[in-house]
Structure 1
Amino acid sequence: MNSMKKSLLVFALMTAITGCTSATDETSNSKAEVVTAVQQESEKLATLFDNYFTDSIELSPISGTYVGLNEYNNKFSAPISAESIKNELEHEQAYLSQIEAIDKSKLEGQDLLSYEIFLRDRKLGIKSYEFNSHFMPLNQMYGIHNSFATLGSGKSAQPFNTVLDYQNFIERSQGFVLYMDSVIVSMREGIKNGYVLPTAIIEKILPQLSVHIVKEAKDSVFYGPVTMLADNDKISADDKVTITAQYEELILGTLSPAYAKFHDFILNGYLANGRATVGLSELPNGKAWYEYQIEKNTTLPLSADEIHKFGQQEVARILAEMKQVKQQVGFSGDLKAFFQFLQEDPQFYWKNEAEVVKAYTDVKNDINSRLPALFEVFPRADYEVRAVEAFRAASSAGASYQSPAPDGSRPGVFYINTHNLKAQPKFILETLSIHEASPGHHFQISIQQEVQSLPMFRKFGGYTVFAEGWALYAESLGKEMGMFTDPYQWYGRLSDEQLRAMRLVVDTGLHAFGWTREQAIQFMVDNSSLALSDITAEVERYISIPGQALAYKTGQRAIREMRNNAETQLGDKFDVKKFHTQVLIDGALPMPILERKIQSWVDEQL
């Protein structure tokens, strides 16, 4: 090879090598730019979420207390006013604009999931301001008059460990009084504009107020933190004397008068204006309002009509299964007689509150021992069983759950209502514990709070359809866990599911199809063995919080369909433990987003 050819060959090789290096560099640079762009957008998103969470806590400081942010323990929400409502709406609008400015194409994984959730929630939050809910800011189920008393009892999220803790609640109480004054003003405006509570609901609020009107400070639930002082070695004797005097003045000079003022308004200024109708559709813009409530509570594109029909189908199916239990236990009468037997026979009922609490504490250990068969992820937080406080028991649900403190300083609480022992039959022991505690609410909510990678708005947020859908789905796992071997316990499972099925019919009946309170009560009497007192409380609950009760069965059905689809597609590859991990590990999600996530998980394995 002559020198010219050698030179050309070397030049060609060098050019080729140089060309390859340039292409590689360009590719590397391009990839680096993409990675940088993704990181930048991810950081913008994280900052947006942090700011939103902080700003939301500023608007609702009590929620800060519940998530363990003690710097908010002395603060209270701004009184209801045109200005405060405007500020809340502008808060939602501002963050909608910010999330829409994020480049979705540069997001992936959890960031993309959070983006979709946040965008959806801000749009729905803004939509809520089309309806004048501030004219009816409380009811017998939910309201600051009850939640503040629970907070101040010393048995909830508000800490009472130091002198500062006690001073914080005194200061917070001043905000509560101002807020309650604004509630009166807002409810008076509601009367003028045609937004008033049904008379039956107003009557249930009155005893919830009168219980806090006391002549002796020691008779108040707010005296609870004072009784705790005796066992507190962090506070000096002199400070204990001072705190006791301050709390007696707080109760008799501030809180009791505030409750008395509100009680007088409800009794003498509001009750006479209560409405005879009960449905949301009877209020201004009520039809659209109920459609919004369906969208908010189910996250699914469902109409009142199709929910109503689905509920009727489920009620009929479950009644047929109840008849099978009747035959299995050898009961000779018809189903109505069987219901009466279950309602009246002493063998099915506890004798006192202590028996109820002990039974649910005991079954907790049995259930926990069975969970590894179906789960691979478990919450670190524990829970305890408590009776619902007497001051709110008469109008409270049969059971409820309060999440633990994120820092582990307070366990979760499974509240069981012992106000009427006939409303707590023994045969619902297993199914109710599964629903409210593990692997239901306690399991799901605690895991959500403990996932480190979730932004705060997801860690402490939620969707009724996810939380309640999961808890009802969890009940359906009972037989897989080896529970419900006693036919009466299985009947309890059916009874609980029947309650959720009847809710679909009754809630839509009340708010979309003109049902009366009495009509709804009779429907539930005819289709269940529930105590009349329990049925009445349930119906009045649906009247007060339209759409919430729709979330249970619609959520359960959606999760069950996701599991069925995954089992069908994966066959022998399907692992129920991993399916449950996929459902739980990203916290509460709207059902359409969860469905897409589960399908992606399935696709990865095919």
Structure 2
Amino acid sequence: MIRRLFILSLLVVGFSSCKNDSATTSNKPEENIPNTEFAALLEDYSKQGYALDPMVATNAGDMSYNTEFPNFLSADYKAKKRAYYESFKSQLSKIDISTLNATEKMSHNVLNWDIDINLEAMQFKKDLMPVDQMWSKNLDFNQLASASNAQPFKTVQDYKDWTTRVDNYLVWLNATIDNMKKGMAEDYVLPQSLIKKVIPQFETLAKGNVEDHLYYSPIKNFPEDFSDEDRKQITADYKVMIADKIMPAHQKMVDFLTIDYLPKGRTSSGINATPLGDDYYNHQIKLYTTTTMTADEIHNLGLREVARIRSEMEAVKKEVGFDGDLNAFFEHVRTKKELMPFTERSQVIAFYDSIHNVMKPQINKLFGKQPVTAFEVRRTEPFREKSAAANYSPGSLDGTRPGIFYTPIPYVETYNIFDKEDLFLHEAIPGHHFQIALQQENAELPTFRKTLWYSAYGEGWALYTESMGKELGLYKDPYQYFGMLSSEIHRAIRLVVDTGLHAKGWSREKAIQYSLENEAESERAIISEIERYMANPGQALSYKIGQLKLIELRERASKTLGDKFDIKEYHNQVLETGCIPLQLLEDKIDAWIEASK
């Protein structure tokens, strides 16, 4: 984001108990001597964590749990989850921190924070609203059914494993109805506008020809070495699975949502209108920003950022010679035919590939450490693309599955490219792909940290990378630069509308109107975004909070080190630890600055 190197004075992160000991300790003899007891604890944490959530294991490339999908909503599962975190919290307290090297101290602090935030989350009854249009487990599971994601379909056994996993998934799916019925009785229900978006997602999987069904995809992609007999048997089994299990289960959900749940849906928009209340939103702020900022602080910060970025947008409007006001310019950008040049979806993919090719010669100037994991651009699967945002799907830990940038293209003729260069920087390179792939490839990190995700760090990094477009040979067209500003103001608006919805009593309509008045996104896209914030309170705050902290730390390092400042080394320092809470990152960067003087 340019970056104006705007200092976030409000970002005073309050996790003093989580301080990175390595930032203040320089006991050289310890540096490279691993603590075997602690290493065993971390390994157990990862292994038991995979057993607790097999989807995490599959996405990481561990195929040990490919038949499993636990009923995350059952009392038995919740008891196991609580016992898991409490057990490791107790074990961690017995580790002598003075015996740990710098990397281990960081892992100790990160693990402590991770356990605490997960235990804190368990005190809330959020699972009485177990499905939504964007974040719920059924959407993650259905992605696996496409046979183009983490679930393998390479052997006959793989195909059999999937049918077993589907049976387990359907147990969870049935439990969601029971939980939503309890939620209806206790006033834990989704807003009606979100329910209306969820119903079509289930409806798509409840009807149609078996051969056209998403779950039939593996049959269309048989490995060449399968025998005719295996192909025939698996095809028959999958047809039965789809017709007798998948379609009826999803139709049952459609009927429940339409007949029973929708009429009980709430007309309020914010989470504080449910019994979860302000306490839950404060927890979500802490989870997604890894700070102790308040909703009021974040809301006011967002208002200031929106005003600042609008002034920069005015300069671009003047540069291209547009005579109307800024809101008229938004509409001009939304509807400018030259910015919607595609007639085929393949052209969209080729456009992103061309962005990558422009950047390649410049990448080495800014990044010393670069991933070896492969990367691809793909269209978002049709079953979810009408309500999905562009996203990055990480590769496997062993690097055999590439990182994938998914872009939804529901209406190719109106696919506007004005903000797509910065989108590629954010979701792909050097944003999520660099950050996540390097984290997974780092041999010094314990397994649990290779798959760990803190949104303030991960999304903050991705938003920060958008600032490097000009350095990477992009943003030559003023409309593309305006697109970068539009993406930045979009994240600043999130600070305003997310807190507005969940802490200040804003309606969905008020949040939509505020966004329409301050950014160039289409009304359709804005509605999807506002409903995204309604479904997962606080997540949208992480981008700008993390970005501003990274900008602050970069400016601090540059100012302190002067000619000794190396941008590649700064990026190395940020990326090498993987996702960590922001205070731990700040401690690390401060220690690096001090050591580099």
- Find 1:118's aligned residue among 102, 105, 111: 111
Aligned to 1:194: 187
Which one-letter code corresponds to 2:475 in the other structure? Answer: F
- Find 2:326's aligned residue among 318, 330, 335: 335
Distance in 2, matches of 1:567 and 1:341, equals 39
Within the alignment, does 1:534 sit opposite 2:494 as a pair? no
- Find 1:544's aligned residue among 530, 535, 543: 535
Within the alignment, does 1:361 sit opposite 2:361 as a pair? no
Aligned to 1:441: 432
Within the alignment, does 1:395 sit opposite 2:395 as a pair? no
- For the aligned residues, what is the CA RMSD? 1.7
Offset of residue 109 of structure 1: 0.8
Offset of residue 581 of structure 1: 0.2
Cα 1:54–1:323 shift into 2, 3 Å: same
Within the alignment, does 1:370 sit opposite 2:362 as a pair? yes
Offset of residue 267 of structure 1: 1.2
Distance in 1, matches of 2:473 and 2:354, equals 16
Q: Secondary structure at the match of 2:405?
A: strand
Offset of residue 258 of structure 1: 1.1
Distance in 2, matches of 1:114 and 1:103, equals 13
Aligned to 2:441: 450
- Find 2:494's aligned residue among 499, 503, 511: 503
Offset of residue 423 of structure 1: 6.7
- 1:51-200 maps to which residues of 2 (within 5 A)? 51-200=44-193
Within the alignment, does 1:315 sit opposite 2:306 as a pair? yes
Per-residue CA distance 1:294-353 (angstroms, 9 max, x = gap): 000000121110100111111111111111001101112221221121112210113332
- 1:346-357 maps to which residues of 2 (within 5 A)? 346-352=337-343, 353-357=345-349
Offset of residue 191 of structure 1: 1.2
- Find 1:432's aligned residue among 423, 430, 435: 423
Offset of residue 282 of structure 1: 1.1
Aligned to 2:207: 214
Q: Secondary structure at the match of 1:418?
A: coil
Larger relative contact order (C-alpha < 8 A, sep ≥ 6)?
2
Within the alignment, does 1:227 sit opposite 2:227 as a pair? no
Aligned to 2:11: none
Higher deviation after alignment, 407-416 or 158-167: 407-416
Per-residue CA distance 1:490-539 (angstroms, 9 max, x = gap): 00100110110100000000000000000000000001111000000000
User: Greater Rg, structure 1 or structure 2?
Assistant: 1
Per-residue CA distance 1:127-179 (angstroms, 9 max, x = gap): 11121111111210112222221101111111111100000000101101111
Note the residue ranges of structure 2 that are not aligned, 5 or more in a row. Answer: 1-26
- 1:285-300 maps to which residues of 2 (within 5 A)? 285-300=276-291
Offset of residue 482 of structure 1: 3.2
Cα 1:604–1:432 shift into 2, 3 Å: same
Distance in 2, matches of 1:107 and 1:38, equals 8
Higher deviation after alignment, 537-546 or 85-94: 85-94
Aligned to 1:10: none
Q: Secondary structure at the match of 2:404?
A: strand
Give identity over the alignment, percent: 38
Aligned to 2:459: 468
- 1:452-601 maps to which residues of 2 (within 5 A)? 452-601=443-592
Aligned to 1:405: 396
**The structure with more helix, counted as a fraction of residues:** 1
Per-residue CA distance 1:222-252 (angstroms, 9 max, x = gap): 11100012xx222111101111111101111
Distance in 1, matches of 2:256 and 2:152, equals 32
Offset of residue 36 of structure 1: 11
Offset of residue 86 of structure 1: 1.7
Distance in 2, matches of 1:383 and 1:590, equals 27
Offset of residue 37 of structure 1: 9.9
Distance in 2, matches of 1:400 and 1:48, equals 33
Cα 1:491–1:141 shift into 2, 3 Å: same
Offset of residue 181 of structure 1: 1.1
Cα 1:484–1:41 shift into 2, 3 Å: closer
Q: Secondary structure at the match of 1:483?
A: coil
Contact 1:342 1:529 in 2 (8 A): yes
Aligned to 2:374: 382
Cα 1:449–1:596 shift into 2, 3 Å: same
Contact 1:521 1:535 in 2 (8 A): yes
Q: Secondary structure at the match of 1:386?
A: strand
Higher deviation after alignment, 492-501 or 52-61: 52-61
Within the alignment, does 1:418 sit opposite 2:415 as a pair? no
Distance in 1, matches of 2:382 and 2:462, equals 26
Distance in 1, matches of 2:193 and 2:140, equals 21
Distance in 2, matches of 1:369 and 1:199, equals 49
Contact 2:72 2:78 in 1 (8 A): no
Aligned to 2:272: 281
Higher deviation after alignment, 457-466 or 141-150: 141-150
What is the total number of aligned residue pairs between the two structures?
Answer: 570
Contact 2:358 2:473 in 1 (8 A): no
Contact 2:71 2:175 in 1 (8 A): no
Distance in 1, matches of 2:202 and 2:582, equals 38
Contact 1:199 1:274 in 2 (8 A): yes
Higher deviation after alignment, 531-540 or 471-480: 471-480
Distance in 2, matches of 1:192 and 1:114, equals 42
Higher deviation after alignment, 91-100 or 534-543: 91-100
Higher deviation after alignment, 354-363 or 589-598: 354-363
Distance in 2, matches of 1:537 and 1:491, equals 22
Which one-letter code corresponds to 2:576 in the other structure? Answer: I
Distance in 1, matches of 2:488 and 2:30, equals 49
Distance in 2, matches of 1:452 and 1:127, equals 31
- Find 1:45's aligned residue among 35, 38, 46: 38
Distance in 2, matches of 1:251 and 1:437, equals 34
Offset of residue 457 of structure 1: 0.9
Note the residue ranges of structure 1 that are not aligned, 5 or more in a row. Answer: 1-33
Q: Secondary structure at the match of 2:419?
A: helix
Cα 1:288–1:423 shift into 2, 3 Å: farther
Cα 1:407–1:37 shift into 2, 3 Å: closer
Distance in 1, matches of 2:119 and 2:552, equals 31
Offset of residue 420 of structure 1: 3.5
Q: Secondary structure at the match of 1:174?
A: helix
Cα 1:428–1:283 shift into 2, 3 Å: same
Offset of residue 190 of structure 1: 1.1
Distance in 1, matches of 2:546 and 2:28, equals 37
Q: Secondary structure at the match of 1:49?
A: helix
Distance in 2, matches of 1:422 and 1:289, equals 41
Contact 1:441 1:467 in 2 (8 A): yes
Cα 1:285–1:209 shift into 2, 3 Å: closer
Q: Secondary structure at the match of 2:468?
A: coil
Offset of residue 262 of structure 1: 1.4
Higher deviation after alignment, 184-193 or 243-252: 184-193
Per-residue CA distance 1:176-231 (angstroms, 9 max, x = gap): 111111111111111112211111101100000000013521121011100012xx
Distance in 1, matches of 2:53 and 2:253, equals 22
Offset of residue 54 of structure 1: 1.0
Contact 1:59 1:78 in 2 (8 A): no
Contact 2:419 2:483 in 1 (8 A): yes
